[in-house]
Structure formats: structure tokens, C-alpha cells
Amino acid sequence: MFRLFYGIVFDSSHNINILKFIIMRTSRSAPKVNAGSMADIAFLLLIFFLVTTTIANDTGINRKLPRSCPPGQDCRIDIHERNILRISLNNQNQIMVDEALIAIEELKDLAKAFLDNNGDKSCDYCSGLNLASSSDNPTKAVISLQSANQTAYELFIKVQDELTKAYAELREGYVIGVMGKSPKTLSISELNSVKKAYPFLLSEAETK
């Protein structure tokens, strides 16, 4: 007796193992991918990126903010124009001092000359040029810093650093030249006297 299976004629007396083999081949399931190790691979990649990635440190400025103005009180102070050094940072990351374009390397010396000018000749420890167009003395000199909306934060920090260096060098010169001491040996009261001689007067608000 003959039987037809998938277009192939088999004799009933033929070895049945051939038919079983064909059935097994046709009913075999599709191959599968072993995903058991995918979690291990993902974990190893996470460890790799955590170890090799450098996390940037936030850059900040150490400043003591002024006290808030009491309600109902006018805290505005009239400042003569010659006692204001106007520094502005534009959207092109350029530095302008009194509307003149300068390089970052010039800022510290310009700030020192302004602070130490001694226009009214009342400062006996100053060594400025006594220009009538610049600040009267360090206690009246105010630095106004304005930045545009698109000014890079890195430039703002660099400008703040240069201004801090200007004050630091003037104060160091006062300690060595007037007090005859090393800055590292100052007491708290002496340190306050130095700060009073060159007060850090920096305004980021609009000055008029």
C-alpha cells in the first residue's frame, strides 16, 4: 500500500523512521536568542561609564551679600560718577570698561588704578595718580559689573576673579607697606582694618 505525504510517495512497508525524521524537520521551532546575559552586559557598561566619566565641578563665587533693605526705607545711595568704574559684558563675551573695549588681562590693573587713585588726596596710604576723573579714595570707589543675557558664565567668573585679585593685591600692599606685617600673621581686628582700608564695593545692580 502506498501513501502520499508532502508530495512524497511512501510504501507502507518502508522504514517508518524516515517519515518520523521528515515530521521532526518540518515541526522544528524557530531558533531563540538567549537573553539571560543581557542584564550582566548592561551592568558592566554602566560600571564602565561611571568609572571613566569625569564629572565637572561647579564653579562658584564666595561673596557676602548685603543686608536687605528694611520695608518702607529708601536704601539708595548717591554716588558720584567718577567714583563708579563701569564694567559691562556683552552678548559677544567682550569686556568693556567705561565703554572702552579691553582684554581680560588688562582688567586687574585698571581696577587697581581706579581703586587707588586718591582723587581727593584724603588717602595717606594710597599711591594713585590723583586724577580728578577717577575715584576720590578707596572707601568711595564702587565697581559696577553688568552682564548681558548671553554672556558666558565662564567669562563672568573670570572677571570676578580678576577683580578679587585687584583687591587682594591692594590689601596685601597695605599690610606690608603700612602695617609692616605679613598677611598670614594678622589678627581678626587687623584683618578688619585692612578690609576697611580697601572695602570690597562691587555692585551687580544697575547704578545711576
Q: Is residue 72 part of a domain?
A: no
pLDDT at 1: 47
Q: Is residue 6 part of a domain?
A: no
Query: Cell numbers at residue 78, please?
Result: 548717591
pLDDT at 180: 94
Query: Cell numbers at residue 182, please?
Result: 605679613
Q: What is the DSSP string of 130-172?
A: --TTS-S-TTT-EEEEEE-TT--HHHHHHHHHHHHHHHHHHHH
Task: Identify the domain containing residue 164 by its residue range.
Answer: 81-203
Angle between helices 153-174 and 104-115 (to 10 degrees): 40
pLDDT at 74: 78
Q: Is residue 4 part of a domain?
A: no
Q: Is residue 33 part of a domain?
A: no
pLDDT at 16: 56
Angstrom CA distances, 191 to 9, 165, 174, 194, stand at: 110, 17, 11, 5
Assess contact for 47 and 104: CB atoms under 8 A: no
Assess contact for 185 and 154: CB atoms under 8 A: no
Assess contact for 97 and 87: CB atoms under 8 A: yes
pLDDT at 145: 93
Q: Is residue 42 part of a domain?
A: no
Q: What is the DSSP string of 44-84?
A: HHHHHHHHHPPPPPPP-----PPPPPPTT--------GGGE
The region that residue 92 occupies, defined by phi over 0 for left and psi between -120 and 50 for alpha, beta otherwise, is alpha
The pLDDT averaged over each successive group of 10 residues in the chain (208 residues) is: 47 53 54 68 84 71 72 83 95 94 96 96 94 94 93 93 95 95 93 95 75
pLDDT at 208: 55
Which strand (E) or helix (H) includes residue 202? strand 202-203
Q: Is residue 163 part of a domain?
A: yes
pLDDT at 54: 76
Q: Is residue 3 part of a domain?
A: no
Give which of 160, 200, 197, 161 is closest to 176, Cα–Cα: 197
Query: Cell numbers at residue 77, please?
Result: 545711595
Total number of domains constituting the chain: 1
Q: Is residue 65 part of a domain?
A: no
